[in-house]
């Protein structure tokens, strides 16, 4: 919608407004130099995206995502992205298959060089690209929503040492399934991958 919506969303995701922060309309008005009506619209929108909660007459706060809900998010993503992986296996063109393999190669290089930011970026790109290739617009939309909600936790998880060496072979399995046109394998690999994210979150619970 408005440019302001993107900016606020970005600042929430980057941790500028930590979870639990109250979003006071007047403060945001002067921060972004727009009227309150605009701020109001962005808050309603981000509320629908699940990034903020908006109680009547009590204003909006940045959503705090309990570990339990982060686990649910990972489960829902497993279900939806598994579906996407299956369809991507059936629909990917030759060029797209090569592109996915190239991303995997870049990820291997990033792991070798211990370049965590690059790996994280490639990770996001791989998931997004598979969604696009699947052609599943609804799934892509819902997954983007879920990714927003879980961004904070995923960010922390990615920093855990040794995490990338666990997830890399799982990603490779997903891409192998898609390249081979084996929808069952691709879906299973994707669900495995996100199940491993889920169990890592459970460990983190303590």
Partner DNA sequence: GTCGTCCAGATTGTCGACAATCGACGCTCG
Partner DNA sequence: CGAGCGTCGATTGTCGACAATCTGGACGAC
> Shortest distance, CB of residue 178 to a second copy, whole angstroms?
17
Candidates 20, 33, 56, 57: give the one binding a second copy (CB under 8 A). 56
> Shortest distance, CB of residue 40 to DNA, whole angstroms?
6
Is 38 an interacting residue with respect to DNA (CB under 7 A)? yes
**CA 30 to CA 35: how far, in whole Å?**
8
Candidates 21, 29, 61, 75: give the one binding a second copy (CB under 8 A). 75
Neighbours of 132 (CB within 10 A): 13
- Based on CB atoms, which residue is closest to a second copy, 41 or 188? 41
> Shortest distance, CB of residue 130 to a second copy, whole angstroms?
15
For residues 174 and 190, the answer to whether their CB atoms sit within 8 Å is yes
Candidates 62, 82, 88, 127: give the one binding a second copy (CB under 8 A). 82
- Based on CB atoms, which residue is closest to DNA, 18 or 169? 18
Is 40 an interacting residue with respect to DNA (CB under 7 A)? yes
Candidates 13, 16, 21, 25: give the one binding DNA (CB under 7 A). 25
**CA 169 to CA 166: how far, in whole Å?**
7
Question: What does 80 interact with, of DNA, a second copy, none (CB < 5 to 8 A by kind)?
Answer: a second copy
Give residues with Cβ within 8 angstroms of 158, minimum separation 6.
116, 119, 120, 123, 164
> Shortest distance, CB of residue 32 to DNA, whole angstroms?
9
Q: How far is CA 20 from the centre of its chain?
A: 20
Is 31 an interacting residue with respect to DNA (CB under 7 A)? no
Is 72 an interacting residue with respect to a second copy (CB under 8 A)? yes
Neighbours of 205 (CB within 10 A): 10
Q: Residue 9, exposed/middle/buried by CB under 10 A (0-12, 13-18, 19+)?
A: middle
Exposure on the CB side of residue 168, measured as CA atoms within 13 A: 17
Segment interacting with DNA, rule: CB under 7 A, options 32-40, 64-72, 83-91, 103-111: 32-40
How distant, in Å, are the alpha carbons of 64, 77, 86, 130, 148 from that of 195? 22, 10, 17, 18, 19
> Shortest distance, CB of residue 76 to a second copy, whole angstroms?
5
């Amino acid at each position: 919608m408005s440019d302001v919506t993107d900016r606020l969303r970005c600042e929430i995701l980057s941790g500028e407004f930590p979870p639990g922060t109250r979003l006071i309309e007047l403060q945001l008005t002067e921060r972004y130099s727009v009227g309150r009506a605009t701020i109001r619209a962005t808050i309603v929108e981000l509320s629908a995206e699940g990034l903020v909660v908006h109680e009547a007459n009590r204003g909006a706060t940045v959503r705090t995502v309990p570990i339990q809900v982060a686990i649910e998010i990972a489960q829902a993503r497993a279900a939806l992205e598994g579906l996407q992986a299956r369809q991507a296996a059936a629909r990917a063109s030759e060029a797209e298959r090569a592109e996915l393999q190239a991303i995997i190669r870049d990820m291997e290089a990033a792991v070798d060089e211990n370049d965590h930011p690059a790996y994280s970026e490639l990770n996001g790109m791989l998931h997004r690209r598979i969604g696009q290739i699947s052609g599943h617009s609804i799934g892509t939309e819902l997954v983007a929503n879920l990714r927003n909600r879980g961004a904070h936790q995923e960010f922390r998880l990615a920093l855990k040492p040794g995490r990338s060496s666990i997830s890399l072979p799982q990603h490779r399995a997903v891409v192998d399934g898609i390249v081979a046109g084996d929808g069952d394998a691709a879906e299973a690999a994707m669900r495995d991958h996100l199940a491993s994210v889920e169990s890592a979150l459970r460990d983190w619970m303590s």
